[in-house]
Amino acid sequence: MVNALIQLIRVQAVGPESDGHGEFKKAEVLMQYLAETSFDRIERFDAEDPRVPSKKRPNIVAYVDGKSDTNRIWVVTHLDVVPAGEDTLWKVTKPFVPKVKNGCIFGRGSEDNGQSVVAALYAAKALKTLGLKPNRTFALAFVSDEEQGSTKGILHLLAKGVFRKDDWVVVPDHGTPLGDFIEIAEKSILWLKITTFGIQAHGSLPNKGLNAHRVGMQVALALDEMLHQKYNAVDEYFSPPNSTFEPTRKDKNMDAVNIIPGEDTVYFDCRILPRYDVGQVLADIKQVVTEFEKKTGTKILLEVLQRQVSPALADGKAEIVTLLKKALKVARGIDATIGGVGGGTCAAFFRQVGIPAVVWCTIDEVPHSPDEYARIANIVADAKVFALLSVI
């Protein structure tokens, strides 16, 4: 397991939106491990993408046939990772130079989502090695593009009819250090790009220009205040319990200090409680933007980078929830609780089309951070639970 994760971390599977080359080389490494596991079937559903060198975004599906092909158990993991970030913030190792230390494997993508890729793979390997025919088919999907909206990944597989209404899906892409929480609900997601256009001028002659940076900051602060005041409900079912509206990325505008920017861009990551209408939230944002255009004379372009409306809350008594709770109790003595989260996962896409899906794994919650790591003990413990799901 350790060696497999090390090999996967070494491949920089960053999407083209972040100037990466995609997941193709990582998929080739994974295919070597899959070929050693004697799966009953392995299928590829690669999506075309001219932005990457291979022109393909790989999606791999592998099956261990069960005594019944009804209520197939799926474990859906993703191959892509976020960019490394600032190299100087990594202290234990470089982002794509995996290192084993203190029972952990450090490297970008180790926890998100390499740990679960390996745990799912070795759960299937255990079934095959022991010669066990599971009660229900055990299926694995290794998908692309999860970090940037899943168009080339899980949505591509859904469009190809890979999944059925009677399938049960586990998405191991959010969890707790104890593995005692099962996510059955998510907030809606709204990613925004707000570009303000002014007039560039010399820094000593502001009267000759229109400072897009100043207006851009004012717009961002106004949106931040309006959104938090108007959409301030608290729902303890979720963690965190409120809607969040975070200004995140800021594009570079000028190379010199003495230039008044003629263009300024800021991004927002909004995670919205299901009780709110995402369309209304967006309408309120547009109103603020329009008011600033009139007041300042600037042109402001509002772009929606991602809009994902949360489906209805999943049934806490659904069979997949009950089954996962049982597997956790048998394998690890855990009495799991259920609830909702702010992060978006592939589970939302399944729920939107009526396929029962839960989100669970055991992680220290360090994805996307410097010195990201996966605990080796968690990989082993999660693999046991995945394997049990198909045989209990």
- The catalytic residues are 80, 146
Please enumerate, as own/partner, the contacts of 42-47 that have beta carbons within 8 Å and a separation of 24 or more: 45/156, 45/157, 45/160, 45/162, 47/144, 47/145, 47/151, 47/152, 47/153, 47/156
- Residue 240: count of CB within 10 angstroms of its CB: 13
The Cα–Cα gap between 147 and 143 comes to 11
Task: Give me 327's structure tokens.
Answer: 């597997």
The Cα–Cα gap between 166 and 136 comes to 12
Task: Give me 144's structure tokens.
Answer: 């692309």
CA angle centred on 52, ends 49 and 54, rounded to 5°:
85
- Residue 379: count of CB within 10 angstroms of its CB: 25
Residue 366 — left, alpha, or beta (φ > 0 → left; ψ -120 to 50 → alpha)? alpha
Q: Is the peptide bond before 370 cis (omega within 30 degrees of 0)?
A: no
Q: Do residues 190 and 344 lie in contact, with contact meaning Cβ atoms separated by under 8 Å? A: no
